[in-house]
Structure 1
C-alpha cells in the first residue's frame, strides 16, 4: 500500500477525458522484469532489462526495490560507490532510506519522498537503511531510476534534490478512479517538483479495479509503464499487463520508421494497479555503459575509471567511511 494516498481523488485537480476519436498510443512490446540482487543483497526486479535500449532512451535502467517486509537485522543498502554521466532517482514508496554523498548532499527519504542526484562529472554516494530500521526490521519498497545525460551535460556539476512527498503534484482521473502522483515533468498543465537535466515525465499511479486512466502524453516523448503490483490492460489495443511487467508504447519522436501517432496513453485495472509511468525526449547519442558510469564512448569510460581510482570523483566525508 503506497504511503501517499487520498480518500477521494475527485477532490483533486482532474485530468481531462480525451474527446471521442482522439488517437491513443498502441503497445509495441510487453516484457517481464528479471529478478536479482543489488548493493549488499537487497532484492530487485530489473524493470527495463528485457527491453531494447533503443526503446528506452533517455533511460538507462530502473530497479523495483522490494516490496519486502524485513525481519530484524535483515535490511540492507549499498556501500560507497561512484557515478558519472547520468542522474539517479530514488523514489521511496514505503520505508526509509538514508542518502549521503561526497558533494554534501544527503538526508532521509521515507513514504513517498524522492532523492534526485545528478552525478554529472562525478560523485561518491551511499544509500542505506537507518540503523534503527536494521535493528527492528520493517517494510521496504521503492524504485531507483537512472536517467541519462546528453554528452554536453555529462560533466555538469553534481547536484542533489530532496523532494518531499508533500510537494508531489496529486491528480485524479476524470472519474476519480485513479490517483496520480506526479514527481517530474508536466501533465495537462500540472508540473511535478523534480528539476530535470533531460526532459522527462515520471509518475506513480494507483488505478482502482474497473477504472481507466487516460494520460495526455507529449508526442516527442517515449512512454513506458511498469506494474509494481496488480493487473490490467494498457494501450489502444488493451494489452494485458501484470505485476513485474513493463509495456513500451509506440512513438519515439521523429525517428524514421517509428510512429508518433497517439496523443495519450491509457491504463485500465482489473485488480488494483500500482504502476510507474515514465517517458522522455530521446537523446539520440551513443551510450557506453559500464557499472556505475554512463558515457558516450569507451575512452570516456576508461577516463571515468581512472578518475575514480585516482580520487577525482570525490572524497568520503570524514567519519562516514
Structure 2
C-alpha cells in the first residue's frame, strides 16, 4: 500500500501530543463491516458506509473501497459513461492507475497517492477506467471513492476539478514517529492539506506502524469516521478491535484515537486507515443513483435533464478503451 511515503518519518513535522487530562477523546459509537459488491463494469468494491444513518455521515454520502485486487491481463475494469449532479466525488488512488474523461472536455490520470476531486455541481457525464496499457498487462488496483454532499446553494454550481498529486499532501507524523499522516484536505493539528472544499471537511490517509498509537486532534463540531483500508488494530480509548473493511463511527469530543496491532499479517505490514470528518450540512437529502439533491422534485428534474441531454453528451473524441 505505497501511496506517498517518506524514507524517514522522523524528519517530518510532528502533531501536538494530546493530554488525556485536558482532552475529551471521542468514544466509538458504531463499528460496522463493509459488505462486498461490484461497481461499474464489474470491479469489486466494499460499501464502507452501509448501515450507517445519514445523520452520522453528514456531509458525506457514500464511500467505496475499490479493490484491492491484482488483475490478470485483460481483466481491469472501469465504469461506463454515467451522469452526476449535486455532489462531489473524491477519488483517491493507492495502487494502480485510473483515467477520467467527462462531457465538459475535462480529463486526466491519477496514480499512486493522487486524488481527483470532481465537483459535479449542476451536472455532467463522465467515465472512469484503467488505461489501455493496464488493461493489456493487468496489475494491482486499489483506491477509494468518497461522495461529499454539496449544500443547497452550491448544488447547481458549474462543474470543476482539483487534481491533487500525492506529493502535495501535507505529511506529518505523531509525537513518537509511529505513524505517517497524509492530510489531503482540511487541517489536522495546524497542518493543512491542499484540497479546497465547499463544506469544511478533513480527509487523511494514515499509516500506523505495528504497536503504535495515534491521537488526532479533531474539531468538536465535525463528525469523525475511520475506515480500515488494511491491517489490524483498535479504535477508541476502549481499544475495540478492527480489521480491513471496517468503519468506526466516533461520537463527540476533541480527539480521536486508533492504534495498530503489534502483529500484522504478511500482506499488510502496517495499519492503514482513511480518516474523514466534516461540518454537517443539516439539509434534507434526496438521493437516487448518481444524483444527490434536496427534494424528490429536484431528483425528477435531474433525471429529466439527463434524459434530455442537458447534462452533456459523450464527446466524439473518447478514451481508446471507452467503447469496449
Q: Judge same fold: TM > 0.5, yes or no.
A: yes
Q: Does residue 92 of structure 1 match 2:93?
A: yes
Q: Does residue 266 of structure 1 match 2:264?
A: no
Matches within 5 A, 1:92-111: 92-111=93-112
Q: Aligned equivalents of 1:70 and 1:204: distance in 2?
A: 24
CA contact (8 A) 2:3 2:93 kept: no
Describe the SS at the equivalent of 2:121. coil
Partner of 2:287: 289
For these two proteins, the number of residue pairs brought into alignment is 311
Unaligned runs of 5+ in 1: 252-261
Of residues 279, 299, 306, the one that matches 2:277 is: 279
1:288 CA displacement: 0.6
1:19 CA displacement: 1.8
CA contact (8 A) 1:106 1:160 kept: no
Partner of 2:209: 208
Partner of 1:306: 304
Q: Aligned equivalents of 1:3 and 1:159: distance in 2?
A: 24
Q: Aligned equivalents of 2:33 and 2:180: distance in 1?
A: 24
Q: Aligned equivalents of 1:174 and 1:104: distance in 2?
A: 45
1:241 CA displacement: 1.3
CA contact (8 A) 2:38 2:44 kept: yes
1:199-219 Cα shifts (integer Å, max 9, x gaps) = 110000000111011111001
CA contact (8 A) 1:91 1:144 kept: yes
1:7 CA displacement: 2.4
Describe the SS at the equivalent of 2:167. helix
Partner of 2:267: none
Partner of 2:69: 68
TM-score by length of 2: 0.94
Q: Aligned equivalents of 1:289 and 1:301: distance in 2?
A: 8
1:63 CA displacement: 0.2
Describe the SS at the equivalent of 1:23. coil
Q: Aligned-residue CA RMSD in angstroms? A: 1.0
Partner of 1:255: none
Partner of 1:315: 313
Structure 1 stretches (4+) deviating beyond 4 angstroms?
none
Q: Aligned equivalents of 2:38 and 2:56: distance in 1?
A: 24
1:237 CA displacement: 2.0
Q: Aligned equivalents of 1:20 and 1:291: distance in 2?
A: 43
Matches within 5 A, 1:116-135: 116-135=117-136
Partner of 1:136: 137
Partner of 1:19: 19
1:166 CA displacement: 1.2
Is 84-93 or 189-198 further displaced after alignment? 189-198
Q: Aligned equivalents of 1:151 and 1:233: distance in 2?
A: 37
Partner of 1:4: 4
1:16-62 Cα shifts (integer Å, max 9, x gaps) = 11124122111000000000000000000000112111110010000
Matches within 5 A, 1:192-231: 192-231=193-232
Partner of 2:156: 155
Q: Aligned equivalents of 1:291 and 1:70: distance in 2?
A: 27
1:111-161 Cα shifts (integer Å, max 9, x gaps) = 000100000000111000000000000000000000000111100110011
Describe the SS at the equivalent of 1:301. helix
Unaligned runs of 5+ in 2: 265-269
Is 189-198 or 58-67 further displaced after alignment? 189-198
Q: Aligned equivalents of 1:12 and 1:103: distance in 2?
A: 40
Is 293-302 or 4-13 further displaced after alignment? 4-13
Matches within 5 A, 1:73-84: 73-84=74-85
Describe the SS at the equivalent of 1:174. coil
Partner of 1:259: none
Describe the SS at the equivalent of 1:78. coil
CA contact (8 A) 1:33 1:49 kept: yes
